[in-house]
Amino acid sequence: MNDIAIELRGIDKSFGLVHANKNINLTVRKGTIHGIIGENGAGKSTLMSILYGFYQADSGDIVVDGNKVTIKDPNAAIASGIGMVHQHFMLVENFTVLENVMLGAEDSQILNTSISKARVELKRLEREYALEVNPDALIEELPVGLQQRVEILKALYRKADILILDEPTGVLTPPEADHLFRILGQLKEQGKTIIFITHKLREIMAITDEVSVMRRGEMVATRHTKETSVEELAELMVGRRVLLRVDKGAANPGAVKLSVENLTVRDSRGVTMVDNVAFTLRAGEIVGIAGVAGNGQSELLEAISGIRRAVSGSVLLNGEPVDVTGYADPGGLRNRGLAHVPEDRHHVGLVLAFEEAENGILGYHHDKRYLNGVFLDTKAIEADAEEKIKKYDIRPPNPRLKTANFSGGNQQKIVLAREMERGPDVLIIGQPTRGVDVGAIEFIHKRIIEMRDQGKAVLLVSVELDEIRALSDRIIVMFAGRVVGERGPDATEGELGLLMAGVEGRKEAAE
């Protein structure tokens, strides 16, 4: 009895018509790392939010350490020894580490005494768990890896015995993720219980003792990690067999379609985000740009697609110059054969309040075939949408449905269908599978390879290294706005990881 840290019995939760958690049972043993895996929208985060007191379950019991508890708010969760490291860090960026750790756990109205006590306690925690961080550093000046460490320290400062980590590796470089895994291992040795939520199978296999799989709001299975396999887990997640490797033949590169030279781009604050970048993209190949989020990939895509004005540099599209430092605009570039699937489909790629069919023609709405004189030809638009729905298996197959009501994967398919079906010469894709479930990922990857095999030039930006490695014929690594290396498709993860962390690149640049 006493070796069970948390037991959930029959947890049920609905948001309006959405049944997010259906009769969930879960047992987490003390001193273990318990993985929870499932696709986006499977209900993992809802379940953990219930455990942390963000939401109340409609029915069901939570048993912590053998005692039935009611967790009505985060305070109650903290009191029961539950701590949470959120996917988006809950830190105040212009506060120091110390202030963040202390926030909400101060001893008295006046801060002085709390500060000195927190400082001593933080030192002790740092020593005990090897979690060094300068207590007086401002959060905004720390790299993400350290920010996450502050989140862990916050939980430990509140004497958490059970630590929930929600998609903790999404923002980390591979070396940082490895470091996190070592920290988690250490915490486990000290007797802490860890619940680790992710949609990445590899991480589950690497560090968990047990794993529970969620699918569509239900807990479908729990396995000892040693006795399961990646294939079995993937099948449990999706509910059918999935192909984890992408099948693709060798690339057959042709003429140069896009060439970028000395491109420099600054963001709205005037910080140089893309620093003198050059590369070429040929017909019939996929060039992947790898890098940790925020190293200039987004700004690079925006400059090439005409959304953001570059400071200097030149871009040739089909051999013709593009006015990237002046008046290039996405519409004009589209007409010249450059299609763009933006990274952020919610804000750039789609108008969520529009119907599916309307989003299906955005950017091409001046095209004669959608027009009837000066009016939109709604019949033609709807027919066009229905064709795409069929071809891209967009569900539900209803062109009149509001786009916000489609799942992430289907929204992405709407954007892809719009841009791919035009047969552009150059296709630029940012984060093709962010927030997209495993089943749809497989489909999207296949379509991207098909585009390449039709002789299109594809530029792919993704923070998912696995995706870059699976699809790309050449891999360019960006760090701090610069291209720090180029590798073939057979580059190892470790090699790319070091480049992404800026370790190898400096050496290479110096040589």
Cα–Cα nearest to 21, from 52, 57, 51, 55: 57
Beta carbons within 8 Å of 351's beta carbon, 6+ residues apart? 358, 359, 362, 403
For residue 108, state whether it binds other proteins (rule: CB under 8 A): yes
Does the footprint of other proteins cover residue 407 (CB under 8 A)?
Answer: no
195 is a contact residue toward other proteins (CB under 8 A): no
Question: Across-strand partners of 67?
Answer: 64
Among 15, 116, 124, 335, binds other proteins (CB under 8 A): 15
Told to check if 113 binds other proteins by CB under 8 A, we report no
Contacts of 181 (CB under 8 A, 6+ apart): 203, 206, 207
**Residue 201 and residue 233 in contact, taking contact as beta carbons nearer than 8 Å:** yes
Q: Which residues have C-beta within 8 Å of that of residue 123, sequence separation ≥ 6?
A: none
| Per-residue contact flags (x/-) with other proteins for residues 139 to 168, judged by CB under 8 A | ---------------x--------------
- Cβ proximity to other proteins: between 111 and 230 the closer is 111
Number of residues engaging other proteins in binding (CB under 8 A): 31
Residue 102 touches other proteins, criterion: CB under 8 A? yes
Least distance from C-beta 479 to other proteins, angstroms?
Answer: 27
The span from the CA of 218 to the CA of 47, in Å, is 10
Q: Does 404 bind other proteins (CB under 8 A)?
A: no
Instruction: Using alpha carbons, select from 190, 226, 195, 191 the residue that is nearest to residue 84.
Output: 195
Q: Does an H or E element contain 230, and which?
A: helix 230-238
Question: At its nearest, how many Å lie between other proteins and the CB of residue 232?
Answer: 31
DSSP codes of every residue in 263-278:
EEEE-TTS-EEEEEEE
The nearer residue to other proteins, 99 or 437, going by C-beta atoms, is 99
d(CA 378, CA 422): 19
- For other proteins, give the closer residue by CB, 54 or 279: 54
Nearest to 407 by CA among 381, 384, 383, 440: 440
Binding mask 62-101 for other proteins (x = CB under 8 A): -----------xxx-xx-----x-x-x-xxxxxx---xx-
Which residue number, 50 or 238, has a Cβ lying nearer to other proteins? 50
Answer yes or no: are the C-beta atoms of 225 and 234 closer than 8 Å. Answer: no
Shortest Å, Cβ 111 to other proteins: 5
Window contacting other proteins (CB under 8 A); options: 105-113, 276-284, 337-345, 357-365: 105-113
- Closest distance between other proteins and the C-beta of residue 161, in Å? 17
- Comparing CB distances to other proteins, the nearer of 87 and 259 is 87
* Rounded least distance, CB 103 to other proteins, Å: 5
The structure tokens listed for 24 are 């969930």
Neighbouring-strand partners of residue 223: 211
Which residues ranging from 42 to 61 are in contact with other proteins (CB under 8 A)?
A: 52, 54
| In the complex, minimum distance from the CB of residue 167 to other proteins, in angstroms, rounded to a whole number | 14
Residues that bind other proteins (CB under 8 A): 15, 52, 54, 73-75, 77-78, 84, 86, 88, 90-95, 99-100, 102-106, 108-112, 114, 154
